[in-house]
Amino acid sequence: MISKSKTIKSNSKGLFLLELIIAISIFSSASFFPLISFSKFVGSYLTYFYTVKTYQFLHFGRAWAIANDQDNHYEIQNTHNLNLYNQNQKILKTITFPPQLQISLNKNIGFKSSGNTKIAGTVTISSKNKTRKITVGIGYGKITIKD
């Protein structure tokens, strides 16, 4: 009888190891599926983050025009840089966008020294699954975000 109980114990240890291996394989394969939706989340988050950053950048340009009593404007350079220029074409500040995002301007947006809009337009920021637009209104310099 003693030898039978030892056999049962050694079999149960082997069974536990097999159960552990199966459980680990199930958890590791189940953790793969959220990575697919995580990449969509990252693209959506990047679009949101850079939309807010661009919105603040446009407000900065308007405030800079008022504070320095100079006109300014924005241009896209190298498809991933949004530059703020003063009236002497000197770059004042730049935002660099990651390669996952595309940025476009329908016009080179600009502000007068009074803070009013010199050139109204829209900045479009898009990823694979999300597009956001930031519009500078005509005349008074209102900046709005649209989904």
pLDDT in tens, 40-65: 666 678 889 999 999 999 999 999 99
pLDDT in tens, 95-115: 999 998 999 999 889 999 999
Q: Give CA–CA dist 20/43, Å, rounded.
A: 36
Q: Give CA–CA dist 84/86, Å, rounded.
A: 7
Q: Worst-scoring range by mean pLDDT, 11-15, 87-91, 110-114, 115-119?
A: 11-15
Amino acid at 29: S
